[in-house]
Amino acid sequence: MIWEHRPGSIVMLTKLVEGGKRKCELYWPEKVGDTFKAGCGIHVQYKEVVPFADFEIKKFIVTNDQKPKVPALEVQHFQFLSWPDHGVPKFSTALISFIRRLRQYHNPQSAMLVHCSAGVGRTGAFILLDSMLEKIASESSVNVYECLTKMRQQRIHLVQTLVQYVFIHDALVELVTCGDTSVPAKALRGHIKKMVRNIPGGDVSGFTAQFRLLARVSRKPSDSDNSEGLAPHNKDKNRYPGRIPYNMNRVRLKPTGVSGAEYINASFLDGYKQKNAYMAAQAPVAATVNDFWRMVWEFKSRAVVMLCQLEENGQEMSHQYWPTQLKAKQLYGKNSVTLISEEHPFGAKEIVVRKFEITDEKVHVCSRSPSMQAGESVCVGIREGAGCS
């Protein structure tokens, strides 16, 4: 089908395996540089892959030995990784970003091949959303119901669930409300100058207006969203009662059999090209110093960035959570921490870099931990003089 109809892009909206069930067979080579024989003389070469937090972009070169005079086909393969079967992505922002990136690559003169597992639920939702984004761009209007009615005359069961249908509307509302806020790097300086000035006909700057808009569209937590952080046995682990991590993406420590032992006030955040690239945490309080080092140990965190001082304006911003004497070993729960070195890199007084060695005292030196090996080092960079938030 791909060789004969020559789509410029393939959009894959499922993982190969979800919930322990096979959702799609691997139809490309396993490794970059390998070639896959697809039968009928067709060969698929895996040229490259560029990973992002929520999706991957691959490039395939398709040739046909039986059609040597027909030019090779270059296909861009876009796989969205954050869309559960029969459900919807947690946030529409990631999917909209995915569609925009796709449109940058896709040749509008060629067809776009879209598939999930059954090719109706997620596939239909994606096509409907993409179609409505184009309609907004060209006509500044939408008609989701009318478009889906026409689509269902062409393929059965497109947009399979009510939650998918609602999600499309929510995504369009977010797009219309926020607009496209991406800025080319070369235009950033001019964009900042524009944002500093008051918006036309208004009394606030572009930055202020955009930040207020951000507050409007941001998720409003409920007690069920962060119930674990509000539990009585965990309340003393929160430095600020109003800053509780969401249950869905909070960092979970390994259970020890003690109630609440797996809780720490920290959340996973995605980076540009990596899922869960950051752990955003509050500065430790006296009750969580041991848990803080346990988190570092269990998640192999090689770098800790501290953006506050221990005390600011007479108020504790962070409990002292490291030894102050060089080569001195201090025990934090089951982990011992040794300060190896401390320096100001390049003579910068406002930056301190400390190197620590952390060891699990309950694991023999010759044994292996499922996370870090005994004696792993951690580098902690501290930006002094910065406010804590």
The answer to whether the CB of 292 falls within 8 A of the CB of 282 is: no
Query: H/E element holding 298?
Result: helix 289-298
Tokens for 114, please give them: 């879209």
Long-range contacts of 352-357 (CB under 8 A, 24+ apart): 352/381, 352/382, 352/384, 353/379, 353/380, 353/381, 353/382, 354/322, 354/379, 354/380, 354/382, 355/379, 355/380, 356/322, 356/380
Distance CA 42, CA 70 (A): 12
Q: At 305, phi and psi to the nearest 5?
A: -110, 120
- Helix locations, 56-196, DSSP H: 92-105, 121-139, 144-152, 162-178, 188-196
- Region 294-315: mean pLDDT is 95
The answer to whether the CB of 284 falls within 8 A of the CB of 380 is: no
**How many other C-beta atoms lie within 10 A of the C-beta of residue 302?**
11
Strand (E) positions, the chain?
Answer: 9-12, 17-18, 21-22, 35-39, 42-51, 55-64, 73-80, 112-115, 250-252, 263-269, 278-281, 303-306, 311-312, 315-316, 329-332, 335-343, 351-360, 376-383
Domain extents for the chain?
2-178, 239-383
- Region 249-256: mean pLDDT is 94
Residue 151 has what pLDDT? Answer: 97
Does residue 111 carry a pLDDT above 70?
yes
- Region 234-240: mean pLDDT is 93
CATH class of 2-178: alpha beta
The answer to whether the CB of 77 falls within 8 A of the CB of 62 is: no
- Helix locations, 197-288, DSSP H: 206-217, 227-230
User: If you ran DSSP here, which 8-state letter would residue 306 be given?
Assistant: E
Does residue 361 carry a pLDDT above 90?
no
User: What residues have CB less than 8 Å from 308, skipping those under 6 apart?
Assistant: 283, 317, 318, 386, 387, 388
Which superfamily does CATH assign the domain made up of 239-383 to? Protein tyrosine phosphatase superfamily (3.90.190.10)
Give the percent of the chain with pLDDT over 70. Answer: 93
Residue 2 has what pLDDT? Answer: 95
Maximum CA pair distance of the chain? 79
Tokens for 46, please give them: 């895996």
Residue 52 has what pLDDT? Answer: 94
Residue 217 has what pLDDT? Answer: 83
Does residue 373 carry a pLDDT above 70?
no
Does residue 45 carry a pLDDT above 70?
yes
Residue 385 has what pLDDT? Answer: 46
Q: Which of 142, 126, 125 is nearest to 134 (CA)?
A: 142
Band of pLDDT at residue 316, cut at 50, 70 and 90 = very high
Residue 381 has what pLDDT? Answer: 58
Distance CA 144, CA 40 (A): 41
The answer to whether the CB of 283 falls within 8 A of the CB of 388 is: yes
Does residue 115 carry a pLDDT above 60?
yes
Distance CA 63, CA 66 (A): 9
Band of pLDDT at residue 388, cut at 50, 70 and 90 = very low
Of the ranges 133-147, 211-225, 286-300, 371-385, which one carries the lowest mean pLDDT score?
371-385
Does residue 298 carry a pLDDT above 70?
yes
Whether the domain at 2-178 and the domain at 239-383 fall into the same CATH topology: yes
Band of pLDDT at residue 375, cut at 50, 70 and 90 = low
- Region 368-379: mean pLDDT is 50
Residue 28 has what pLDDT? Answer: 96
The answer to whether the CB of 181 falls within 8 A of the CB of 138 is: no
Total residues found in the chain within this entry: 389
Q: Please, what is the Cα angle at 154 between 152 and 159, to 5 degrees?
A: 35
Spell 370-380 as b/e; 16+ CB within 10 A means b. Answer: eebebebebeb
Residue 223 has what pLDDT? Answer: 67
Does residue 259 carry a pLDDT above 90?
no
- Region 206-226: mean pLDDT is 85
Residue 143 has what pLDDT? Answer: 96
Residue 379 has what pLDDT? Answer: 62
Distance CA 7, CA 335 (A): 55
